[in-house]
Amino acid sequence: MEENKVKCLVWDLDNTLWDGTLLEGDDVELKQNNIHIIKTLDSRGILQSIASKNDYTKAMEKLHDLGLENYFLYPQISWNSKSHSIKRIADSFNIGIDSIAFIDDQPFEREEVKFTHPDVLCIDENNRDCLLDMPEMNPRFITEDSKIRRLMYLSDIERNKQETEFVGPTEEFLASLGMKLTISEAKEDDLQRAEELTVRTHQLNTTGYTYSYDELNFFRCSKEHLLLVASLIDRYGTYGKIGLVLVECSIECWNIKLLLMSCRVMSRGVGGVLITHLRNQAKNAGVRLQSEMISNDRNRMMYMTYKFSNFVEKKKKGDLVIFENDLTNIPGFPEYMKVATEHCSE
């Protein structure tokens, strides 16, 4: 499977998104076909933002007048370099810089970004009409989560705003969200999103393994494997399907081949909850519980999640670490989160 899909397209404004230069008093108008491009990419689950050297207030007013303000998340409109703006966008979305594409009419700006961030896909505005046909802009599947990805991020922005303004312990804020995590055995209609998660998720991913729809369907039907998906909702709405677990099951030992979560739930404690659920299941089944981990600079948090859950290293083969858990002192689920399990034997 191809993994170099774009997660976010960053637009320049003057003479790229629209014709004309805003601060020169031009009566700027959207370039032909840009609304179609923006809405089509949005329907595919590709996020969009802005990196523009411009006056923030005037640019946002113009975007509002054009009815496009809510299509561009974490816009960076300032006099900073475009490379600086793109890094801030990637950090705000919590995605890798290599999943960003940038479109600009100025060769200098594209070269400045390419020099600082070689992994960013830089696109000449003259090639704008080819955007929708680029392989990087065409995900293999368009899932239900894809279709509402921007709306889920807008909910995240509101949650983060409320969290910043909240006065009190973190657990009190988490309790105020009314979170419900559902862990269920994967069904056939979960598989497109499951494949998408393996391709898109790099930071909160224990091994980095990617699996195709057909491979995941094999695991779903196999008596020697357990394939789980997790979804999360709270009072602001749904996070969608945000977690995936693949366990290889033998008579004596279960081995977690893959455990991953969307970066949008990084601070919600979902990883620990999923591991607690697996520890309980393994203990009830009377088997040992091991896990595979291929650690790198980007998934350090998952390594720590295993360590905090009392997994200890048993062996190491190159970058591959085999952990094992003794299945003692298993904690309960956190009080701030309601956990439901569907078709999962406890």
Give pLDDT tens digits for 135-190.
Answer: 999 998 898 889 999 999 999 899 989 999 999 998 899 999 999 999 999 999 99
Total domain count, the chain: 2
Tokens 């209609």 locate to 189
Residues 155 and 128 in one domain: no
User: For residue 2, how many other CB atoms are within 10 A of its CB?
Assistant: 11
Same domain, 121 and 157: no
State the residue range of the domain holding 107.
Answer: 8-137
Written as six digits, the tokens of 49 are: 């933002």
Global confidence as pTM: 0.81
| Length, in residues, of the chain | 346
For the chain, the average pLDDT equals 92
* pLDDT over threshold 80, residue 2: no
Last residue of a domain, one of 86, 111, 137: 137
Instruction: Give the tens place of pLDDT for each residue, 196-230.
Output: 888 887 778 889 888 999 999 999 999 999 999 99
The CATH number of residue 124's host domain is 3.40.50.1000
128 plus 36 within the same structural domain: yes
Question: Are 254 and 326 part of one and the same domain?
Answer: yes
